[in-house]
Amino acid sequence: MKPLELYKTMLTIRLAEERVAAIYPTDKIQSPIHLSLGQEAVCTGVCAALRPNDRLYGTYRGHGLYIAKGGDLGRMFAELYGKDTGCARGKGGSMHLAAPEQGLMACSAIVASTIPVAVGDALAAQAEGRDRLVVAFFGDGAVDEGVFYESVNFAVLKNLPILFVCENNQYAIHSRVADRRKVTDLHRIGAGLGLKGRRFDGNDAGAVLRATAAAAKSIRAGGAPQLLEFMTYRWVEHVGANTDYQEAYRFPGEEKKARAADPVSRAKKKLGKAADAVHAEVVAAVDAAVAFAERSPFPAVDQLLSHVYAPAPIAAPAADPTETIRYGEALRRATEHVLATDPTSIVMGIGVDDHRAVFGTTKGLLARFGKQRVFDTPIAEGAIGAALGGLKPIHIHIRTDFLYLAMDQLLNMAAKWRSMYGGTMSVPMVVRAVIGRSWGQGAQHSQSLQALFAHVPGIKVGMPTTPADAQDLLLAAVADPNPVLLIEHRLLYDLEGPVARPGRAGAFLRTVTRRRGKDLTIVANSYMAVEALKAAEFLSTQGVECEVVDPVTIVPLDEQPILDSVRKTGRLLVVDTSWTSCGVSAEVAARVSERAFEALKGPVRRLGMQPAPCPVSKPLENAFYPDAASIATTALEMLGRGAPDLRAPALTNRFKGPF
């Protein structure tokens, strides 16, 4: 790019943001803004060095990136105004700009959150052999986050085609780099992980362009990822439109020094009169963009719930079972079918390629499909970016407890992505996670976290109970264009049941009536459905016929079979694999009370884990979980019957530790 073009881009960013600052006090923009005044050279030079098919992931300070990567200026202003013509249909605002058609995939309000997404996209580029570079663009504050190091480690380990760009404006909100870390040469911080870095003047667009172009050329040729640190300065407050040089966190004389290094003025001085030729053009473009935003309509209220989920594909009709297999084998067979029929599918996660093969569910897949498609990963992975890059990742966590470490990526990013960017993108990824109950797994290896994920719109949640559920839900989840979490109970892996041959995906939405009855409805999920069936068999000997209903998918929840059953029996007992407080059992009880209250003959009862962390001691662990005995006892109490002496049946599976 020629110097005049660089200048024009910087001037557009400068004048656009100055206009944003002028408009902000009028309340026409009613969302936080993070201006990059004084930093224009970094995004301009970086984007000028990229090819049209290269992809970039940025931060909440994203106006400059959006403009430099070729985003439509009118749609940017419309987005800031919250208008329907905005780049995210008014749902993202200033902090969530994106122009995927130009390669700007996302800006995010969460510090460092797009870095692992960029790494995942680079994984997709590498897997598909694309001549495409991915850039992770972030501020100096992001290097204080653990996810930065996890992402760098994975990128270097896999030699991914990614460039890390640190725009060091010397402040993280009001905190100086030197106040946050001993080592202030941020380009050196990845050396221990094998990431080479260099520092450059970030107020010289030409220097930024040359440095980025050189790094990009090396990476495209198969070289290792690199880190470029560009030194610049933030002229205004962290968030808002005002200067704050009077505040104590700034040093005296900083403003004068910053203004002297103004990248726009420096470029204009070098160009001389040639710079004047583009000024009127840029002013007119900004005026037109503001006018477009002003006259654009706000989104209709009926758009509120649009773009939360992408439409699911048409489901294939259910096939007849052909054989009886184990639950774990059903998962393995479904995964093998996906890998064999979809070359974009991959399986990633801890232990997927070891001899245990995640309780046998990935056994033989490495040998058949190779380490490029079945591979072990660190805890932090880039499944979101891989999905955005065109892959179909199946990401496996051997404990649901480990999902806490991925909570930001799953709930702040994957679940919100489609809505946050106005329906322009979807994240078709599958996460499998295992509830590790039994054999003294304790407080941090046995949690059942479906309620946490079911609470946040944008992600689907399923809990397969039978081998048929396991196979069908996994196939449906892979075919779904939305992020899907499948939670599997470890005590189910040896459960046998009839299963059809893997084929086209069926419907994901599923609530199954496991047993018919007339006296009481038991709604139980996952392994608790197994215990509920045991209890129902015993209760039948006592003259009580229970109907057992299993909500296999928690989100979306097919509530109709539950309501129909309650209207028939008049009584409801809900049994969950997790705690009762604010959980799935509470949601089921609430829906029944809202929609079928008139049918209830008595209070809804709930059973779940005791309100404490799971203990290791076996007697305490036995008391911690509901079982067939406690379910039967509660059912008889609800019917006004005395409870006989019950002895809980043995656990369903033959598992014995240590893991």
Q: Which stretches of 109-226 are DSSP H helices?
A: 114-127, 146-158, 177-180, 205-220
Tokens of 497: 């049941």
In DSSP terms, 88 is beta-bridged to none
Supply the Cα-derived Rg of the chain in whole angstroms. Answer: 28
Strand (E) or helix (H) holding 338: helix 327-341
Query: Would you call the peptide bond into 658 cis, given omega within 30 degrees of 0 as the criterion?
Result: yes
Length of the chain: 659
Query: Which residue type is seen at 605?
Result: R
Residues noted as catalytic: 381, 445
Cis, peptide link before residue 556, omega less than 30° from 0: yes
Q: Are 470 and 309 in contact (CB under 8 A)?
A: no
What are the distances in angstroms from CA 215 to CA 105, 128, 162, 208, 495?
21, 22, 10, 11, 53
CA angle, 225 then 228 then 231, to 5°:
170
Reduced to 3 states (helix: H, G, I; strand: E, B; else coil), residue 489 is strand
Assigned token pair, 1: 């790019």
- In DSSP terms, 431 is beta-bridged to 395, 485
- d(CA 57, CA 133) in angstroms, rounded, equals 11
Q: How far apart are CA 419 and CA 416, in angstroms?
A: 6
In this structure, the strands spanning 496-499 and 323-326 are: antiparallel
Return the structure tokens found at 441.
């797994």
Evaluate the CA torsion angle 307, 431, 342, 477 in order and state its sign. Answer: negative
Q: DSSP code of 79?
A: H
Q: Using a CB cutoff of 8 Å and minimum separation of 24, what contacts does 316-321 make?
A: 316/503, 316/504, 316/505, 316/506, 317/506, 318/472, 318/500, 318/506, 319/500, 319/501, 319/503, 320/500, 321/468, 321/498, 321/499, 321/500
